[in-house]
């Protein structure tokens, strides 16, 4: 066999093996790495979806929470994974648009290190307070903070977290002299607000809704442009602070180099499970909102978010420590 024929046979065999692997995908369990704590907004969002996608693809999909380093550790693990479709990332926009603007150097690139699969849902945020806090609205918080400059603290899940960014936007809009107290994760921050250690915070509605209904937290304002159907009697922050609006989103990504056929199969599976009315109702009742699906939309969201957050972080003088 001459050299050209041998090369042709080898190349053809490799291409056939690659196509066959993609056609059989997935043929073993898929791992989703989540660089966030269990019980976070994205965690609450992704667990039922991952289960349904696993059923749809006839393979188990497991979620591994790898918090730490503000999410940088888990995100980098996804970036360095083999692009074979069996390791994915469940990220919020903090991982993809906030942290890259906050830290001078990180070990992944939000655009170059990942292949977008799809945005999954938008996440409604609310400003909540300990029931003993004397104010009942965002306007009250502004007034109380200005009457007591530097003495009203707010909690967050860490520097550059969505909770931090949401309150930083509020501070920039209003000039309220509130003080940031970062925690290692949103769950610990919520616990201390309920305990009265810190008076207020911004949080994903899905995380705090049970505590609101139990009377352990009260709502100062919904961060969406319009009132939430889940909290019809709670005003929006926009009603006190014209133009204020804040929400985040959760998404699925794969390591860069994952085949387009695999990306398509994952996205098709996501689209199929999100057509299930029971699941849709479950997510809506937890404060999630449906969004356009697909890699192109997610790519655009990342690009726009990077520009927006760069300005916000620079103008606010936000630092990682």
Tens digit of each residue's pLDDT (9 = 90 or more) over 4-32: 555 554 455 444 444 555 579 999 999 99
CA angle centred on 98, ends 123 and 64, rounded to 5°: 65
In 164-289 the beta strands, taken as DSSP E runs, fall at 178-182, 200-204, 218-222, 247-255, 288-289
* Mean pLDDT of the region 281-301: 95
- Among residues 128, 126, 143, 120, the alpha carbon closest in space to that of 297 is found at 120
Nearest to 129 by CA among 119, 113, 144, 116: 144
Asked whether 88 and 31 are in contact (CB, 8 A), the reply is: yes
Q: What is the pLDDT, as a whole number, of residue 3?
A: 54
pLDDT digits (tens, 9 = 90+) for 30-40: 999 999 989 89
pLDDT (tens digit per residue) in 237-264: 999 899 899 999 999 999 999 999 999 9
Q: Is residue 291 within 8 Å of 123, Cβ to Cβ?
A: no
Residue spans in the chain of domains classed CATH 3.40.190.10: 124-239
**pLDDT beyond 60 at 123:** yes
pLDDT at 5: 54
Q: What is the reported pLDDT for 20?
A: 52
- How many residues comprise the chain? 321
Ramachandran region of residue 96, left (φ > 0), alpha (ψ -120 to 50) or beta? alpha
Q: How far apart are the C-alpha atoms of 220 and 135, rounded to whole Å?
A: 8
Report whether 248 contacts 204 (CB < 8 A). Answer: yes
CATH number of 26-122+248-316: 3.40.190.150
Q: Which residues in the chain are classed under CATH 3.40.190.150?
A: 26-122+248-316
Is the pLDDT score of 318 beyond 50? yes
* Whole-angstrom distance, CA of residue 173 vs CA of residue 187: 26
Can you tell me whether residue 159 is helix, strand or coil?
Answer: coil
- Please provide residue 91's backbone torsions phi and psi, each rounded to the nearest 5 degrees: -115, 155
Question: How far are the Cα atoms of 39, 141, 157, 253 from residue 187, in angstroms, in the given order?
Answer: 7, 22, 7, 24
Query: Average pLDDT for residues 281-309, to the nearest whole number?
Result: 95
Pick the CATH number of 124-239 from 1.25.40.80, 3.40.190.10, 3.40.50.800, 3.30.428.10: 3.40.190.10
| Chain centroid, CA 211 distance in Å | 21
Tokens encoding 38? 């269990």
Give CA separation, 69 vs 86, 250, 309, in Å: 24, 19, 19
CA distance linking residue 253 with residue 248, whole number of Å: 16
25-29, 139-143, 224-228, 248-252: range with lowest mean pLDDT: 224-228
CA dihedral 76, 81, 85, 88 (to 10 degrees): -20
């Amino acid at each position: 066999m001459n050299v050209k024929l041998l090369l042709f046979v080898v190349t053809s065999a490799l291409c056939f093996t690659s196509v066959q692997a993609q056609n059989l995908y997935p043929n073993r369990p898929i791992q989703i790495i989540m660089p966030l704590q269990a019980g976070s907004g994205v965690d609450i969002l992704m667990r039922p979806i991952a289960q349904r996608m696993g059923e749809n693809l006839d393979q188990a999909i497991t979620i591994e929470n790898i918090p730490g380093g503000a999410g940088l550790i888990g995100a980098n693990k996804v970036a360095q994974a083999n692009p074979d479709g069996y390791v994915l990332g469940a990220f919020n926009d903090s991982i993809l648009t906030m942290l890259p603007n906050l830290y001078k150097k990180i070990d992944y690139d939000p655009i170059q290190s990942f292949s977008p699969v799809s945005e999954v849902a938008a996440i409604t945020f609310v400003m909540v307070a300990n029931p003993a806090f004397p104010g009942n609205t965002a306007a009250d918080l502004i007034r109380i903070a200005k009457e007591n400059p530097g003495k009203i603290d707010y909690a967050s899940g860490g520097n550059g977290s969505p909770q931090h960014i949401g309150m930083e936007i509020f501070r920039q809009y209003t000039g309220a002299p509130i003080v940031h107290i970062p925690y290692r994760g949103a769950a610990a921050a919520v616990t201390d607000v309920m305990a009265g250690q810190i008076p207020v915070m911004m949080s994903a509605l899905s995380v705090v809704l049970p505590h609101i209904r139990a009377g352990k937290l009260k709502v100062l304002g919904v961060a969406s442009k319009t009132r939430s159907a889940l909290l019809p009697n709670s005003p929006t922050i926009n009603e006190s602070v014209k133009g204020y609006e804040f929400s985040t989103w959760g998404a699925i990504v794969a390591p860069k180099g994952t085949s387009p056929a695999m990306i398509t199969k994952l996205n098709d599976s996501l689209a199929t499970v999100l057509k299930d009315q029971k699941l849709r109702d479950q997510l809506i009742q937890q404060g999630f909102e449906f969004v356009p699906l697909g890699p192109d939309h997610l790519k655009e969201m990342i690009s726009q978010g990077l520009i927006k957050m760069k300005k916000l972080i620079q103008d606010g003088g936000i630092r990682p420590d």
